[in-house]
Structure 1
């Protein structure tokens, strides 16, 4: 095993595991262009991201099976939150319950966050598919194939079930990784002047 290919395994993530993907994704998205636009103060971004991903993991995605984590001997390496067909929307009850939390997370940029979310949801496909809202790798493990391993696990599932996969790429680097795994860009959007978001779809391979 080389230094650039650390020992790792891919595990299913249960709802009770939510703190791990929340921390992993908060670190992974700290330098993300879209989250940087929504959370422009670097001093509070890390904490705000962890609170945001806590809600996304614990109260939205991990209520359903299918999400995965990459783990190595040193601890968590990456995570992919995955929603099964028919469950891509955030439940209204969750949005209402966390309205105050979202206001605290985004502060004066709450309107931008809600506007961007509305634009993304408006363009979301309505046919059956797996939705990958967030995939991230911790800083120390980036560039070592962890993201590819997570994607390969999910796309194998999609191929076995003959279902497409859909995601939004919020950075050019992420979009390039997704293209290597068969995703194609359907549309680029810049809601309310945000950095570009690429809406990407992968058809199952037979």
Structure 2
């Protein structure tokens, strides 16, 4: 396996990072439920990821990217302990863009967001909000490199980590890194299920 360069995400990475995450999540069950039309989803997801990265994850300083030959092929959007909630100012900045992008699908998006927020654990932790890789390199170890980068820090700081898996197929993958299923979030109006996963420090 080639060496994988993992580094903090920068503002200049935003367009490429958003495109990569959009490719990673195009067939995701939750994203497919929020934006059912695949053609609209292909347009909406890069803009949605750009908005949340620009206004929340990049300012938080905990997002990371994995590169192959200088190209961003995977990304992980983390929030430090106590910083997973978006501030009212961040919500205000993101909302117009998200409403414009999601349009008629915005209500489903807001319902999904509220369901996830209301189930979030209260104990301080590192929160993995998003992780994904370009499908063309999936299986190449880029997700593993991103997870190990942050989880090593969690262990050094003796800090737990938390995520929601939106795909049942990914649950065993996260379990290999020490995460355990602690609950399920069933999205309203017949939406899909997310699996809450918690990892105690090693």
Query: Is contact 2:4-2:145 (8 Å) kept?
Result: no
TM-score by length of 2: 0.94
Are residue 22 (structure 1) and residue 34 (structure 2) matched? no
Q: Pick one of 52, 55, 77 that aligns with 1:56.
A: 52
Partner of 1:179: 175
What is the CA distance between 1:98 and its match in structure 2? 2.8
What is the CA distance between 1:182 and its match in structure 2? 0.7
What is the CA distance between 1:74 and its match in structure 2? 5.9
Partner of 1:89: 85
What is the CA distance between 1:16 and its match in structure 2? 3.8
Q: Give the Cα–Cα distance (whole angstroms) in 1 for the partners of residues 164 and 55 of structure 2.
A: 20
Query: Is contact 1:148-1:177 (8 Å) kept?
Result: no
Partner of 1:13: 9
Query: Is contact 2:52-2:94 (8 Å) kept?
Result: no
* Residues 185-204 of structure 1 aligned to structure 2 (within 5 Å): 185-192=181-188, 193-204=190-201
TM-score by length of 1: 0.92
Q: Give the Cα–Cα distance (whole angstroms) in 1 for the partners of residues 80 and 91 of structure 2.
A: 19
Q: Give the Cα–Cα distance (whole angstroms) in 2 for the partners of residues 98 and 68 of structure 1.
A: 21
Query: Is contact 2:55-2:94 (8 Å) kept?
Result: no
5+ long unaligned stretches in structure 2: none
What is the CA distance between 1:116 and its match in structure 2? 1.3
What is the CA distance between 1:7 and its match in structure 2? 3.6
Are residue 149 (structure 1) and residue 155 (structure 2) matched? no
Structure 1 52/120 Cα, relative in aligned 2: closer, same or farther at 3 Å?
same
